[in-house]
Amino acid sequence: MSGSTSEDDGARWADDVRASVASAVAALAPAATAAGAASWSAPAGPLTWSCWETGEHLADDLFAYAAQLAPAAPPSDDDVPFRWESTTPGGPANTIRADPAHGPAGLLRVIDACGGLLAAAVRVTPPDVRAHHTFGRADAAGFAAMGIVETLVHTDDLAQGLGLEWTPPEGLVARALDRLFPDVPRDLAPAWPTLRWATGRTSLPGLPDRANGWRWDGRPAGERG
């Protein structure tokens, strides 16, 4: 992949963000009924956060990535200084919260809206723009891939906690995996279990456990040292 992203490729990444969020919302919708509302207090898969907290965290990630790209001069050395705070001991520090009065269906709408914000920011950001992220200064494609990975793996966490089936579209997984984890072996397993291993959620034979530490590289390929 080249060191920058063309406008056409940026549009494709924006479409991928939309597709990943749409797939996630559809997968989680069966648990968003009044009858399933109580299950959102259960832990989200391997996480200590509840399903509700994890859903808010996902929305917040999507929002935060859009926010990094949105200024006329995106920050190169820090996050846009929104106020992030946790509302529960050990819970995620977020800017974005869903109104509990609207239940899980409202939370899914918040996730969908934040995904739309990221897709829109990716679509209009010029390919030469870079913005700060702890895991490397990234272009719009990098932030799109981050949002996709967050969506895929946290939907997996949520599906486990809510007792739902979840298998994401293989093409979305492979594209995001290639963009953010260029050094991860791709010949040992299909893309989805490979991404789950890369993000510390499962084991793969012959590879070290990453549960206690992993990171991606959001920099464009031509800018990696």
Does residue 44 contact residue 54 with C-beta atoms inside 8 Å? Answer: yes
Tell me: the pLDDT tens digits for 188-203?
Answer: 899 999 999 999 899 8
Q: How far apart are CA 46 and CA 97, in angstroms?
A: 22
Q: 204: which DSSP letter?
A: -
Residue 191, Cβ neighbours under 10 Å: how many?
Answer: 20
Nearest to 144 by CA among 170, 115, 167: 115
Q: Is the pLDDT of residue 72 over 70?
A: yes
Contact residues for 106 (Cβ-Cβ < 8 A; gap 6+): 98, 99
pLDDT at site 4: 45
Residue 1 has pLDDT above 60, yes or no: no
Place 3 in a pLDDT band, splitting at 50, 70 and 90: very low
Handedness of CA 190, 196, 201, 203 (dihedral sign): positive
pLDDT in tens, 35-47: 677 899 999 999 9
Tell me the whole-structure pTM to 2 decimals.
0.93
How many residues are present in the chain? 225
pLDDT at 10: 82
Q: Determine the number of helices (DSSP H) and then strands (DSSP E) in the chain.
A: 6, 0
Return the DSSP state at 85: B
